[in-house]
Structure 1
């Protein structure tokens, strides 16, 4: 009775836990060997060689991706995942700022400028501090500063319907300093 338990424990230690890399590689290796044997038995040596070439090419591509996944983009994937979307771009900022600081900029501030400032702040906090602004607003407030936080707080309305130019300058300076 104890022998099957030892064999099961040995197989489990060799294969690893289900879902682990070792287990996945063992299963893929077994499937590849079985496919090669079936190709050799069904269609001969030429089919087995073609199958081996295909399996080797797929294994090299997957191995390269797994080994160099972090190096392919210099680690830019994590900050973008923290934002849940693509990284914000700086194109068109002159127009956005001019429209916001214009006399009738109330609607533009609420619909365009404030969300863009929130995205830039979220990007900077994710990039430099590994912090998700929307999940940890208290930590974000501590980093941004209590005097500027109400202007970009995603959970509260802005303190004023328009954005004064000195506040915008202070916000941009703080974002640069983060």
Structure 2
């Protein structure tokens, strides 16, 4: 009898076992509400249990995982996923007269974020934690331009190098 009950509830310390125990507790709580306070209290309790179950299911499903701080997830990027909304302006300024300053302050960090996202997504490599591995994937001719540990080969980025970096980003 004990083995049959254990088989129905799952092995202790498993998710199935925990959910079975939780389900039994919910049913017992609802029965107590019906017996002690009536159907209105039972309906209210059922509504609260449903809302709690939906929030827990949403949390476990990962709906709040994107940079919310509520889950203990691995942070691949320091902030939200990089976007290219103002990319034409960024490139124009980086290739313009004050390109060295704009490259150092804006373009290079954005390129690093884009490469970090692509390397993490497609290769499982964290740019800042495993720069040697990331450099091997990006390639030795382009890596110095985005290497977070060092300075770029030149203060301003030449247009052919920027094109090569963007082409490499697409092929990663």
Whether 1:109 and 2:103 are equivalent positions in the alignment is yes
What's the CA shift for 1:26?
3.2
Worse-superposed segment, 32-41 or 109-118 = 32-41
Correspondence 1:16 to 2:22:
no
For residues 54-69 of structure 1, the aligned pairs below 5 Å read 54-56=48-50, 58-59=52-53, 61=54, 65=58, 69=61
Q: Matches of 2:40 and 2:93 in 1, distance apart?
A: 69
CA distance in 2, matches of 1:53, 1:108: 55
Matched, 1:152 2:134: no
Q: 1:173 corresponds to which residue? A: 167
Following superposition of structure 1 onto structure 2, how do residues 24-103 of structure 1 map, counting pairs within 5 Å?
24-52=18-46, 54-56=48-50, 58-59=52-53, 61=54, 65=58, 69=61, 81-103=75-97
Q: 1:84 offset after TM fit, Å?
A: 4.2
SS at match of 1:111: helix
Bigger CA drift: 148-157 or 44-53? 44-53
- The unaligned stretches of length 5 or more in structure 2 are 68-73
Greater per-residue helix proportion: 1
Specify every segment of 5 or more residues in structure 1 that has no aligned partner in the other structure, as ranges.
1-5
Match of residue 121 from structure 2? 127
Deviation of 1:49 (Å): 4.2
Aligned residue for 2:156, secondary structure, equals coil
Q: Distance in 2 between matches of 1:64 and 1:117?
A: 36
Take 2:120 and 2:130, find their aligned partners in 1: how far apart are those partners? 11
Which residue in 2 is equivalent to 1:3?
A: none
User: Distance between the aligned counterparts of 1:52 and 1:115, measured in 2?
Assistant: 51
Offset at residue 161 of structure 1 (A):
1.1
The DSSP-based 3-state class of the residue aligned with 1:90 is coil
Instruction: Describe the shift of the 1:44–1:122 C-alpha distance in structure 2 as closer, same or farther (beyond 3 A).
Output: same
Residue 56 of structure 1, CA deviation: 4.7
Query: Could you say which residue in structure 1 is the equivalent of 2:156?
Result: 162
- Using the TM superposition, give the Cα deviation of residue 130 of structure 1 relative to its aligned residue in structure 2, in angstroms: 2.5
